[in-house]
Structure 1
Amino acid sequence: MRVVSLVPSLTEAVALTVPGALVGATDWCTHPAALDVARIRGTKNPDTDRILALAPDLVIANEEENRAPDLDALRSAGLEVLVTEVRTVTQAFRELERVLGACGAPVRPRWLDEAEAAWAAPPEPGTRTTAVVPIWRRPWMVLGRNTFAGDVLARLGVHHLYAAHPERYPRVPPDELRAADPDLVVLPDEPYRFTAEDGPEAFPGLRCALVSGRHLTWYGPSLAEAPRVLGEALRAARP
């Protein structure tokens, strides 16, 4: 198999499970760190000519991360494109099995078993916590309805306050976020890179948790350690 991945988490999953299958990946595919394949620009602006030149047997994509016109262009050029849809942790496991099988994985990888076991009994959440979860600023955007990251947090006992919003990633000004009076502000380091110096200052007096965006939003090998890593970060939240 010759595979091009347009999704960072799927890139990591395929690279670890079917070594040698990947021939191309996006510039945002940072794991595994030693991955040595052709780079085809970003998830939203892939170099379709470069992808065609790689002559892949399969292109793997995601309905949220990748643009339909780009995927249609690849199909029109004769390439097979497998598109995943992931809105929950359970759905992630199902889609990962589908992708790895399509990429020629001979057996189910051990890391996938470990990930399912980790989420079968995530850490006890304790009392229910409310949160707002910014994922961008300039303009400020937060998690809304029906998102994978929202399901991850819910399984850890964190209810984000815009889960019923009509939009999946609504734009909400910080004064409105503060007025929602959450127990916690969850600030991931991707897609926007929130840091201790960039983000918490917008929410004075509120507890802020700086969390790994890879563990919050990626569905791949990182799922095995995500409950522990995120749980520790949430417990370490401070004003």
Structure 2
Amino acid sequence: MRIVSLVPSITEAVAALGGDHLLVGVTKYCTVGAPGTAERIGGTKNPSLQAIAQLAPDLVLANTEENRAGDLKSLRMAGLRVHESYPKTVPAARDLILELGSILDAAERAAAIAADIDTALDQAQRQAPAQRVVALTLIWRKPWMGVGADTYADDLLWRCGFANALSGFGQRYPRLEEGLLLGADVVLLPSEPYAFGDEDLPAVDRLAPGTPARLVDGELLTWHGPRTAQGLRTFAALAAELGQ
């Protein structure tokens, strides 16, 4: 089987399931799991459709949010088989691993990853603080944008004992303005997609005055799949610490 992956987290999942040798094309952002022989076919939002077609893949792995609908439609019209996923919850991410395991004939490896997610989820729920920690989770600066409801990151944080300060905004990634009274206990600053660092803290304090901020691993928060279990463990521990 020849596979093109258009999503970094899915590329990592394929490799974790032992299918890295099947990857003939990946995006330039696929930094984990892609073999050196795989052709770089562009970005998640602007892949080279011609390059993908020339690779003659048996399967293209894509994501509804990460990839553009028009590109996926064009690939299908070209006769390519496109597997499109959109896990917005931890259980959905677990199910996707099992589905990929079935596709790659790697059911045993997939079951082990799924079992680890189940264990981490159970641990997270048992150690969650009595009162949820209200978090403002930012993903971008200039303009300020945060994680809203109906997202994988929102679901993972909820299962770890957090509540989302932006859950009532009606958008998955709402834009924010300085001076909004969001009532957050903490501001979470992931390392991606925007790489927040110490240099951003003064500006964050102007956005949410007096609210403590924490730099966190963005991949553990947003990359579903093999990282889901560690993401649950990491953010459950953080919620327990902040909820004391």
TM-score normalized by structure 2?
0.89
What's the counterpart of residue 225 of structure 1? 230
Alpha-carbon distance in structure 2 between the residues aligned to 1:221 and 1:35: 17
User: Which structure 1 residue ranges, 5 or more long, are not aligned?
Assistant: none
Q: Is the CA contact (8 Å cut-off) linking 1:2 and 1:23 kept in structure 2?
A: yes
User: Which of 159, 164, 180 pairs up with 1:160?
Assistant: 164
Instruction: State the one-letter code of the partner of 1:75.
Output: R
Alpha-carbon separation, structure 1, partners of 2:225 and 2:40: 20
How far does residue 68 in structure 1 lie from its aligned partner after superposition? 0.2
Spell out the pairing of 1:130-141 with structure 2 (5 A cutoff).
Answer: 130-141=134-145
Does 2:92 correspond to 1:88?
A: no
Residue in structure 2 matching 1:186, options 180, 188, 207: 188
How far off is 1:147 after superposition? Answer: 0.6
Report the TM-score, using the length of structure 1 for normalisation: 0.90
Q: Is the 8 A contact 1:209 1:233 kept in 2?
A: no
> Deviations along 1:93-140, whole A, 9 cap, x unmatched?
112222332234353432332122211321612131111111111111
Asked if the contact 1:211/1:234 (under 8 Å) is kept, the reply is no
Displacement of 1:163 in angstroms is: 1.3
Instruction: Tell which deviates more after alignment, 141-150 or 161-170.
Output: 161-170
TM-fit CA distance, 1:31:
1.1
Distance 1:99 1:140 in 2: 35
Give 3-state SS (helix, strand or coil) of 1:83's partner: strand
1:43 paired to 2:44: yes
Q: Which amino acid aligns with 2:227?
A: S
From the two aligned structures, give the one with the greater helix fraction: 2
CA distance in 1, matches of 2:59, 2:196: 34
Shift of 1:35: 3.2
* Residue 174 of structure 2: aligned partner: 170
Distance 2:90 2:96 in 1: 10
1:27 aligned residue: 28
- Which stretch shifts more, 12-21 or 1-10? 12-21
1:154-201 CA deviation, whole Å, 9 max, x = no partner? 01111011113221111111322xx21310001111111111222454
CA RMSD in angstroms, aligned pairs only = 1.9
Distance 1:200 1:9 in 2: 31
How far does residue 10 in structure 1 lie from its aligned partner after superposition?
Answer: 0.7
Secondary structure of residue in 2 paired with 1:219: coil
> Is 1:3–1:103's contact at 8 Å kept on the other side of the alignment?
no
- Of residues 114, 125, 129 in structure 1, which corresponds to 2:128? 125
Match of 2:13 in 1: 13
What does 1:136-151 align with in structure 2 at a 5 Å threshold? 136-151=140-155
Show structure 2 runs of 5+ residues with no match. Answer: none
Runs of 4+ residues over 6 Å off in structure 1 = none
Q: 1:231 to 1:81 in 2, by over 3 A?
A: same
CA contact (8 A) 1:210 1:233 kept: no
